[in-house]
Amino acid sequence: LFGTSGLLMSTYYVHYLFMVWITKNSEIIPTNNGQSLSSIFRVVSKYRSFILYRAPQAFLNASSQGLPVIMLSMYFGLESAAFYALGRAVLALPINIVGQAIADVYYGITAKKVREGVGIYSSLLKLTLGLLIVSIGPFFILYLYAPLIFSLVFGEQWELAGVYSQQLSFWYLMGLINKPSVSAISLLKINQFYLIFELISTVVRVLAIALGYYFTKSDVSTVLIYSFVGVFLNVFLIIFVLQKVKNRYG
């Protein structure tokens, strides 16, 4: 367990060192061999919030993804946890791939605009709305037909996984739409805020599952409550970042 956690944390640190390179690659590329190491350390020190805050935030986010599985198994049994895990995995795989590609490309382009003094609020707003317009159709279809799709692909016994995916589709839609805003957080240098936001979000999501169980006694209703809490948190984050970008970069 500790070895896996250490490897995962190391992966996040490498990722955010790469983000530093994108942000200020001109400072890292050495003018001669004698200055390369000092240049790297100087830029890493300047952008240390990547390492101090974003890597732990990403690690916490990834770790907290397993909490619903644990809690659902406690409240509703291992079968419910297995259905949830399958539904989440099917949703997460394409969204993570597409979302990460969008985030990395957008970050590189936006970092360049910031260095050149070009306003980024308009582009961030347009990309966010564009993702919403493009994505809402497929997610709406998923919401309508997820149980049927899962039954056809995995078998009738996995229909409940499709029902869970149906409920989670709202949250994962917002998880895709918020990728540009998440990328802008580093440019705004509010990585400490994002770590605190992640901590609070984890606690709120855990409470959502617990309260869903105690008040509804229904696994489907509990997953739906969990999903809508995730939607609310993502909407808050998008609006917060857009306002920050508008005030700082215009």
**What's the pLDDT band for 9 if we cut at 50, 70, 90?**
very low
pLDDT at site 205:
94
What would the mean pLDDT of 132-153 be, rounded to a whole number? 92
pLDDT score of 96 more than 50:
yes
| pLDDT score, position 43 | 58
Lowest-pLDDT range, 49-58, 65-74, 150-159, 161-170?
Answer: 49-58
Confidence of residue 52 (pLDDT cuts 50, 70, 90): confident
pTM: 0.80
Q: Which pLDDT score, from 0 to 100, does residue 147 have?
A: 94
Q: Percentage of the chain with pLDDT > 70?
A: 80
Q: Distance between CA atoms of 82 and 69, rounded to whole angstroms? A: 8
**Counting Cβ atoms within 10 Å, is residue 2 exposed (0-12), middle (13-18) or buried (19+)?**
exposed
pLDDT at residue 1 is higher than 50: no
Angle at the Cα of 21 from the Cα atoms of 37 and 17, rounded to 5 degrees: 85
